[in-house]
Chains A and B, each alone.
Chain A
Amino acid sequence: MSCVTRELLLEDLDPDQAWDAVVDMENWLAEEAELELEPGAEGRFRLDDGSERHAKVEAVDPGRTLSWWWWSDEADDRGTHVEVRLVEAVSGTRVVVVESGFAVGPVAFAASTLLHRTPIRA
């Protein structure tokens, strides 16, 4: 329930061409995108409605996956996670967007990655 998934087929585009389109974020996602596409990089977006969002890049896998966290300055905004996945299809490339974590935020995310990286000792 706290997750939105949308997808669309980009016809006649291979995943690399689709990737070039995805990383050109000012063309489709935001008026301004000040964000280096490097895992861990932090930056900001100005969206087409004028609102601003901070962002932190999670994963960059050219031709396959781009994911980030983003959140606004509003005190009660816990932020959400966005994953853009490219899937090769017969007649093009499918772009799958999953925005999730409408209840948890970067803090919970950081805690979960920490837990996953730390070996559990009995």
Chain B
Amino acid sequence: MHDPGPVFAALADPTRRAILERVAATGDATPTALAADLPVTRQAVAKHLAVLERAGVVAGARRGREMVYVVQPERLDAATAAMGRVAARWDERLDRIKRISEERARRR
């Protein structure tokens, strides 16, 4: 299983989240088209896309003179599943604290 850390790091930035949302909405997107939609330059969009690509959440392919990006859902799904496991472990721990502390309170 992949460490979800790089995915969360990539998504910690609001501009990158906005870029990812647009890539997901359009199906495929170029830095030029994304920059037209967002208050950032094409160069900045290209840098953000590179970070997202390194984290594995988008993949770029050359089309003519431009790069075209698509969402790679596997890494995002894996990251979501990892968070689900973290939540399940806390639920178990909280159940334990509830059982023990309420039992203790009844004995008082």
Contact = CB atoms under 8 A, between A and B. Distances in A.
Nearest to B83: A4
Nearest to B55: A103
Given A4-B87, A6-B91, A99-B90, A18 B5 contact: no
Majority-rule SS of B interface residues: helix
A102 B102 contact: no
Contacts of A103: 5, 8-9, 11-12
A10 B90 contact: no
A7 B95 CA distance: 10
Contact of A2 (B3, B12, B95, B102): B12
A102 B4 contact: yes
A8 B8 contact: no
B33 to A, nearest CB: 25
Interface string B11-48: 11000000000000000000000000000000000000
B15 to A, nearest CB: 15
B100 interface: yes
B102 A11 contact: yes
Interface string A67-82: 0000000001110000
Contact of A28 (B3, B97, B102): B97
Interface residues of A, number: 28
A11 to B, nearest CB: 6
B83 A78 contact: no
B1 interface: no
Contacts of B101: 10, 13, 17-18, 20-21
A59 to B, nearest CB: 19
Interface of A: 1-2, 4, 6-8, 10-13, 17-18, 20-22, 24, 27-29, 76-78, 95, 97, 99, 102-104
